[in-house]
Structure 1
Amino acid sequence: MKAWVHHEPGMPDCLRLEERPRPTPGREEVLIKNRAVGINPVDWKFVEWGHPDWEWPHIPGVDGAGEVVETGEGAGHIRIGARVAYHNDLMKPGSFAEYTAVPVRALIPLPDGLSYSAGAAIPCPGLTAIQAIEKVPALEGAHVLIIGASGAVGGALLQLARGRGWIVHAVCSASQAGRVRELGAATTTDYRREGWRESFAERNMEQPLFAVFDTVSGDHAAGLAPLVAANGHLVCIQDRQERAPLPAFTTTISLHEVGLNAMHHFGDKAQWGRLMSAGARIAADAVTGRFDPQLVEVVKFTELGEALMRQKQGPNPGKRIVTL
């Protein structure tokens, strides 16, 4: 098969399109013939960083969509020809290839009316957003703040939050404000505007923020902790809080970290089942138009390396997809 590989850590332009052995699915795995591949920030980051558990050359990529063409022992009821999307383990050979071996538990069934491109846009941002939103109790009418709402994860989270009946305030670039409002934001704030944190802090007594979701970094999230109402929630999607960002016994907020790839190593079958069911609901909503997969770019497989470089350089107002 053809696959994009790198022989050592480096910039995205170190990837090369090469011939590699077609994988064989192991126990409780299936082989997917990829029809579309999703590109995520974690892809270029790990291309640069590498990982000590990888075998070289390594095939990157975690998101894909396609057809089941072979099943391994213990694959259960999965049928040949099934249309699926998936999130693969970062430690394993990935989706930047014509074929990928994927654990059965990580498959999202795709409805017939959904394109593979839209399907490949769901796993990483959609499942991350599901994990993030489930950290917070479902309080109807709560006001929440999402930082980075114009990105793929932020946009998915925004749509799920609106589905919960939350009033969403979005922080994003001014150029994406219109699109973010179309996704359901009640208000948008330019992250470059000076004093926007102070503005939210001033109105917090009358309009408290039940939850703040940050997609930037642990340090950035720590600076947002004073905006969270008493007994509210600070959800750190990028990185985590290594120490309490506020003095003890003040607003007593709850701190949450989100790690989708950690599920491959620590999640049990029941947790995976619930997560994939939630992913299937997103896929069904994408068919009816209730969920926007936020496709910003769709290119050919031969252009994957260039698309990954654009992902690194940004901006990324949505999801970049590669088709096979």
Structure 2
Amino acid sequence: MPGLKPGQVLVRNHAIGLNPVDWKVLGGALVNWRLGHVPGVDGAGTVVAVADDAMRYLLGRRVAYHQALGEHGSFAEYTPVAAGVLLTVPDTLDFETAASVPCPALTAWQALEKVPCRVAREILVSGAGGAVGNYLVQIAADRGFVVSVSSHERHWERLRERGASHFLPGAVDETIGATPELARRFYAVFDSIDARYAARWAPAVAANGHIVCIQGRFDTPPLPPFTSSASLHEVALNALHTYGDDAAWLETTTAGSMLLAGIANGRMQPEARVTGDFEKLPAQLEGLRHRRFSGKPVVLVD
């Protein structure tokens, strides 16, 4: 049973959500973990212990969380988590679904928060077929944006149901990007593939528009100076654990709890889940790395 630092609670995990970052960090190139560190960023379960009496009101609460990479993670029966990062899981929502939500949904929300809301302006979500795209399309449509997507055609019907209006081919290859007829069409482009692909969409951004890189960041501006004057944004959800203050976390956890409530009441649709027991976690992680299945992998701890 792990010990608790001040401000932490102990979560008994009932389900673990797997994300691409989980396999990316296991090689050791991105983080400096010591032997024995527990990986995993997303989980959902019940608060069973608190660091001090002032937090006893949290005991028994159903929660989900996105854990800091520097702390012991969700690939365990119990995880110590800072109380300030907990998301409230409604009683009507199962832990399996809740564990699938934090990383992709909060990333999508954070990406959209970079861009001022302009009702009826058209945006493009590149790489929309993945987990982040699932939530980004829904949140953007709910805010009044006209949503276009670039993804494989097999995702189009699902994305139409989520709120997308226009569809562009989007196989992840060297041909993806803006065509002349798309010049300066979009108020904002949200790319979830990488900065190279995001740069290819730059000519499609309208004057004073926005380009949001969800994976990676631009090393150099993708457009010449004194042209469309697009604002460039990066998204780094886990960095909030290091650089975010209490106000930033309150905004984030409030949004996350509202997204979970939206899923519980049917206003927001989660990804389809691919579940397995704890013994199958390595196989699911390897399958996620090599895209051997479609859907969100979730490990059931109970």
TM-score tier, shorter chain, comes to over 0.9
Q: How many equivalent residue pairs?
A: 300
The equivalent position to 2:44 in structure 1, one of 56, 62, 65, is: 65
Match of 1:3 in 2: none
Looking at structure 2, the residues matched to 120 and 297 of structure 1 have their Cα atoms a distance apart, in angstroms, of: 12
SS at match of 1:31: strand
Match of 2:163 in 1: 184
Match of 1:212 in 2: 189
C-alpha displacement of 1:204: 4.0
* Residues 260-310 of structure 1 deviation map (CA, whole Å, 9 limit, x = unaligned): 010000000011001100001101100111111102311111211111111
**Correspondences of 1:46-61 after superposition (within 5 Å):** 46-50=25-29, 53-61=32-40
Residues 133 and 55 (structure 1), Cα distance of their counterparts in 2 relative to 1, 3 Å cut: same
Match of 1:159 in 2: 138
C-alpha displacement of 1:152: 0.6
The equivalent position to 1:171 in structure 2, one of 150, 162, 169, is: 150
Looking at structure 2, the residues matched to 162 and 316 of structure 1 have their Cα atoms a distance apart, in angstroms, of: 27
C-alpha displacement of 1:318: 3.7
Match of 1:5 in 2: none
Looking at structure 1, the residues matched to 207 and 56 of structure 2 have their Cα atoms a distance apart, in angstroms, of: 47
Contact 1:295 1:321 in 2 (8 A): no
Residues 302 and 144 (structure 1), Cα distance of their counterparts in 2 relative to 1, 3 Å cut: same
**Correspondences of 1:63-142 after superposition (within 5 Å):** 63-73=42-52, 76=55, 78-142=57-121
The equivalent position to 1:146 in structure 2, one of 119, 125, 132, is: 125
Match of 1:261 in 2: 238
C-alpha displacement of 1:82: 0.3
Amino acid at match of 1:135: K
TM-score scaled to structure 1, two decimals?
Answer: 0.88
Looking at structure 2, the residues matched to 218 and 195 of structure 1 have their Cα atoms a distance apart, in angstroms, of: 15
Looking at structure 1, the residues matched to 231 and 13 of structure 2 have their Cα atoms a distance apart, in angstroms, of: 40
* Residues 196-235 of structure 1 deviation map (CA, whole Å, 9 limit, x = unaligned): 6344x41446xx2000000111122122111110100000
Computed over aligned residues only, the root mean square deviation of the Cα atoms, in angstroms, reads 1.8
SS at match of 1:230: strand
Looking at structure 1, the residues matched to 275 and 148 of structure 2 have their Cα atoms a distance apart, in angstroms, of: 29
TM-score scaled to structure 2, two decimals?
Answer: 0.94
* Residues 132-169 of structure 1 deviation map (CA, whole Å, 9 limit, x = unaligned): 00000010011000011111111111111111111111
SS at match of 1:311: helix
Contact 2:177 2:197 in 1 (8 A): no
Match of 1:25 in 2: 4
Alignment partner of 1:43 is 2:22: yes
- Greater shift, 309-318 or 93-102, is seen at 309-318
* Residues 94-142 of structure 1 deviation map (CA, whole Å, 9 limit, x = unaligned): 1011000001111001110001011111110011111100000010011
The equivalent position to 1:292 in structure 2, one of 255, 263, 269, is: 269
Identity of aligned residues (%): 42
SS at match of 2:55: coil
Structure 1 alignment gaps of length 5 or more = 1-21
Looking at structure 1, the residues matched to 280 and 156 of structure 2 have their Cα atoms a distance apart, in angstroms, of: 29
SS at match of 1:197: coil
Residues 52 and 114 (structure 1), Cα distance of their counterparts in 2 relative to 1, 3 Å cut: closer
Residues 138 and 149 (structure 1), Cα distance of their counterparts in 2 relative to 1, 3 Å cut: same
Match of 1:239 in 2: 216
Residues 71 and 198 (structure 1), Cα distance of their counterparts in 2 relative to 1, 3 Å cut: closer
Amino acid at match of 2:233: H
C-alpha displacement of 1:64: 0.2
SS at match of 1:307: helix
Looking at structure 2, the residues matched to 222 and 198 of structure 1 have their Cα atoms a distance apart, in angstroms, of: 9
Residues 264 and 196 (structure 1), Cα distance of their counterparts in 2 relative to 1, 3 Å cut: closer
